[in-house]
Amino acid sequence: MPAGIMIPARNMPSMIGRNGSVGGFGLSSGLSLGQIENHKGPESQRSVEMFQPNLMEAGQLLPLDMPQNTSESDVPRIREDDFDSATKSGSENQEGASGEDQDPRPNKKKRYHRHTQHQIQEMEAFFKECPHPDDKQRKELSRELGLEPLQVKFWFQNKRTQIKTQHERHENTQLRTENDKLRADNMRFREALGNASCPNCGGPTAIGEMSFDEHHLRLENARLREEIDRISAIAAKYVGKPVVSYPLLSPSSVPPRPLELGIGGGFGGQPAGIGGDMYGGAAGDLLRSISGPTEADKPIIIELAVAAMEELIGMAQMGDPLWLTTLDGTTTVLNEDEYIRSFPRGIGPKPAGFNCEASRETAVVIMNHVSLVEILMDVNQWSTVFSGIVSRAMTLEVLSTGVAGNYNGALQVMTAELQVPSPLVPTRESYFVRYCKQHGDGTWAVVDVSLDNLRPSPSARCRRRPSGCLIQEMPNGYSKVIWVEHVEVDDRGVHNLYKQLVSSGHAFGAKRWIATLDRQCERLACAMATNIPTVDVGVITNQDGRKSMLKLAERMVISFCAGVSASTAHTWTTLSGTGADDVRVMTRKSVDDPGRPPGIVLSAATSFWLPVSPKRVFEFLRDENSRSEWDILSNGGVVQEMAHIANGRDTGNCVSLLRVNSANSSQSNMLILQESCADSTGSFVIYAPVDIVAMNVVLNGGDPDYVALLPSGFAILPDGTTAHGGSIGDTGNGGSLLTVAFQILVDSVPTAKLSLGSVATVNNLIACTVERIKTALSVGCSLKKGCILEKWEGVGNFGL
């Protein structure tokens, strides 16, 4: 695994690059109903200044420095005169202040004591390690240096103010440079407009005869004016100067800016949003019904984002008593009373009937901090990396693209739908602002906070308090990520099977986000690796072939995850069954999509509990040697792995190309593309039949976007019954929540009617697969031979 990696450009639609290009294939891949029936077998304060979170004005105390159980706690607030005298210099402190204050003689000067060089050096060294010492640390340091704890406290406050001022001065210089550049461009465009001439006769351009170039310049000029106004407003907050408005064209002479500006998704310019609808979708759902913010809303959004950034930093860095460790020492829980005391501002009290879910997790991932920021601020990359969690996401408007050519100060209004891979758990829709800020060299923070107060909705069931991550640069291309998730949600719609997992906070919590990020960083590192060992049989060493196959598998996983949840874009229908074994089905039409076979696609999914550890279920389902025990369509044939690509340090994380050698010599062999992946919060085994000719093109580095896929597979989650929520690595008494899902082409004509017979056949297929899995894992279930097997009599050959 390489020491460090770089993410592709932010405007790339996929994590893996594309190579080559091929046209459509004559043979469509995917599981079709005709193939099943021809085969034989059994069964998501207004004074705060923009882009300056945590700004400490002179005479204010930082909330994080307020002592809890110290001698200084006897003084609730330091008087302004004492504080000013204490902050005259980073290395001066007042002696005998109280005595001097009582002296009635106004001409007597106050005496000051300058710290020794040794004291300054010691405090400088300690500041590098811990700029926010607590009461215990300040007392220890004052004892070592022979100072009063209050002197140490003031010195650290002064030092932090000095560092903050330096950062502000640097950013101010960058803003001025940017402003000057934009002003120069503006003047150049104005001069060009004033000297415009007719391209035909060379004379001055008359009104109403605007050339194409001039029209383009006018549009560009309008955009630059808005950019200048925005940068000037930001600069005014730093330097205290009034905003300068530059006279350009009259706004009435320029067409209104299209909403597409807010869909740019950062610097790439590609349309933002993913997964809005796979096969047409629903046009009137909540995500698409929300419009961008109004001009009156924008100042409120900016203030809310800056306050949220300050809260996120505190939530990520503070310990006890804000975060309390559980008795077993495995997790931390939020002290809600301390949270309210520490962060009195926010988005208001918790709504009635809502539950609070708060969690914090830390991990070191194999990706540099710049690339991580790009992923989080590009909605397409974010949705791709977290496809198991993010069902759909859109950027409604970009309020700021950042300064100095990066995402520092970037502000985006977004909507997202978050999911658990099961139709039994309702998705969580959020309307929020995402704010990115750099906090010193190599440290970034990205925060989300709900904007539901701007768009009240009676159907809103989830709102995000300040949530996000703090990213710190580490050597060799690694990054330390501290993830905080804090939401309030009405989870009464969750099925009883998943209530324990959801209520524990592990279904949507920080642990799941950071485990997914860690696994995806490993996946990308493996995709970019060049030192591939050639000793193992079946390992794909062709770099172009590896990238194409991984990109195809990535699309397969995204398609599976988008089609298995209870998204509002889906309309599930429950078929026969009882309780948790109900099978949910839905139909979609596939038209003009080279990545899917055309026609009517029937999706079927069911979730159930197994008294078996998630690790055991995952190993059983991913192993090609045990595939014939549950896969009806392999029809007893021998399954052989032809090629594979490792996806991480866990041997179970890989992409495989499987071949089913039919026991009947008259039947053709079948190829199956499979990706198996697992982390501490869940696992997937996803597969799809693929065309042999198409896979040969992909393995040679061809374009995988034209390979038709209809993925099926399994999502495995811990049942949450253990004290810490369970995990995939557990081998104890915890059970598993298994979701089985199929996508089947029931008719190649998109306008055809869906027959009840097709639905019944798919229902039997998924029921038979469930029974086989239960039997193979020895959970006391037997095949219903008089029912399911009888319905599969006469099923013939399956092949491509």
Q: How far apart are CA 466 and CA 315, in angstroms?
A: 9
Position 434 scores a pLDDT of 96
Rounded to the nearest 10°, the torsion over CA 354, 360, 366, 370 is 70
- The DSSP symbol for 623 reads -
- The DSSP symbol for 49 reads P
Residues 656 and 644 sit within 8 Å (Cβ to Cβ): yes
Mean pLDDT of the chain: 74
Residue 271, pLDDT > 80, answer no
Cβ-based burial of 439 (10 A; exposed 0-12, middle 13-18, buried ≥19)? middle
Position 113 scores a pLDDT of 64
Residue 354, pLDDT > 70, answer yes
Residue 285, pLDDT > 60, answer no
Which DSSP string do the residues of 136-172 spell out, in sequence order?
HHHHHHHHHHT--HHHHHHHHHHHHHHHHHHHHHHHH
Residue 652, pLDDT > 80, answer yes
Q: What is the mean pLDDT of residues 259-278?
A: 34
Which of 32-36, 216-220, 304-308 tops mean pLDDT?
304-308
The model's pLDDT over 501-518, given as tens digits with 9 standing for 90+, comes to 998 888 999 999 999 999
Rounded to the nearest 10°, the torsion over CA 788, 792, 793, 798 is -160
Residues 572 and 566 sit within 8 Å (Cβ to Cβ): yes
The model's pLDDT over 311-325, given as tens digits with 9 standing for 90+, comes to 999 999 988 888 988
Residue 637, pLDDT > 90, answer no
The model's pLDDT over 427-465, given as tens digits with 9 standing for 90+, comes to 999 999 999 999 887 899 999 999 987 876 767 788 899
Which of 190-194, 573-577, 683-687, 789-793 tops mean pLDDT?
683-687
Q: Tokens representing 721?
A: 């019954």
705 in helix, strand or coil? helix
pLDDT range class, residue 421, cuts 50, 70, 90: very high
Q: What is the mean pLDDT of residues 162-185?
A: 91
> How many residues make up the chain in this entry?
800
Residues 6+ apart with CB under 8 A from 67: 73, 135
Helix (H) or strand (E) holding 760: helix 756-776
Residue 175, pLDDT > 60, answer yes
Q: How far apart are CA 311 and CA 15, in angstroms?
A: 31
The model's pLDDT over 585-620, given as tens digits with 9 standing for 90+, comes to 888 887 877 788 888 888 889 999 999 999 999 999
Range in 69-73, 338-342, 738-742 the model is least confident about: 69-73
Which of 6-10, 707-711, 733-737 tops mean pLDDT?
707-711
Q: How far apart are CA 196 and CA 210, in angstroms?
A: 9
pLDDT range class, residue 656, cuts 50, 70, 90: very high
Higher pLDDT, 258 or 573: 573
Higher pLDDT, 273 or 794: 273
Position 371 scores a pLDDT of 93
Q: What is the mean pLDDT of residues 725-751?
A: 75
**pTM of the entire structure?**
0.64
Phi, psi of 675 (to 5 degrees): -120, 130
Position 510 scores a pLDDT of 93
Residues 568 and 287 sit within 8 Å (Cβ to Cβ): yes
Q: Tokens representing 205?
A: 């351009």
Helix (H) or strand (E) holding 552: helix 543-562
Higher pLDDT, 792 or 135: 135
CB atoms within 10 A of CB 796: 15
Q: What is the mean pLDDT of residues 388-403?
A: 90
Q: Tokens representing 605?
A: 């999914």
- The DSSP symbol for 787 reads I
311: left (phi over 0), alpha (psi -120 to 50) or beta: alpha
Range in 259-263, 723-727, 785-789 the model is least confident about: 259-263
Q: What is the mean pLDDT of residues 752-756?
A: 81
Q: How far apart are the first and last CA of the chain?
A: 37
Residue 288, pLDDT > 80, answer no
CB atoms within 10 A of CB 531: 6
pLDDT range class, residue 44, cuts 50, 70, 90: very low
Q: What is the mean pLDDT of residues 345-374?
A: 89
Amino acid letter at 330?
T
Residue 240, pLDDT > 70, answer no
Residue 25, pLDDT > 60, answer no
201 in helix, strand or coil? coil
CB atoms within 10 A of CB 11: 16
Residues 6+ apart with CB under 8 A from 651: none
Residue 786, pLDDT > 90, answer no
- The DSSP symbol for 399 reads E
Position 576 scores a pLDDT of 52
Residues 307 and 52 sit within 8 Å (Cβ to Cβ): no
Which DSSP string do the residues of 513-548 spell out, in sequence order?
HHHHHHHHHHHHHHHH-----SSSTTB---HHHHHH
Q: Tokens representing 96?
A: 């005998």
pLDDT range class, residue 374, cuts 50, 70, 90: very high
pLDDT range class, residue 746, cuts 50, 70, 90: confident
Q: What is the mean pLDDT of residues 162-173?
A: 91
| Percentage of the chain modeled with pLDDT above 70 | 67
Residue 677 has, within 13 A of its CA and on its CB side, a CA count of 24
Q: Tokens representing 515?
A: 């485990």
What are the CA-CA distances from residue 80 to residues 34, 84, 203, 507, 537 (Å)? 83, 6, 69, 49, 75
As a whole number of Å, the CA-based R_g of the chain is: 31
Q: What is the mean pLDDT of residues 625-643?
A: 83
Position 535 scores a pLDDT of 52
Range in 271-275, 497-501, 556-560, 761-765 the model is least confident about: 271-275
Residue 81, pLDDT > 60, answer no
265 in helix, strand or coil? coil
Residue 57, pLDDT > 50, answer no
pLDDT range class, residue 200, cuts 50, 70, 90: low
In sequence order, the β-bridge partners of residue 718 are: 736
Position 261 scores a pLDDT of 26
Position 264 scores a pLDDT of 31
Position 62 scores a pLDDT of 37
Higher pLDDT, 217 or 174: 174
Q: What is the mean pLDDT of residues 60-86?
A: 38
pLDDT range class, residue 231, cuts 50, 70, 90: low
Residue 661, pLDDT > 50, answer yes
Q: How far apart are CA 152 and CA 137, in angstroms?
A: 10
Q: How far is CA 448 from the centre of its chain?
A: 10
Residue 553, pLDDT > 80, answer yes
Q: What is the mean pLDDT of residues 196-206?
A: 61
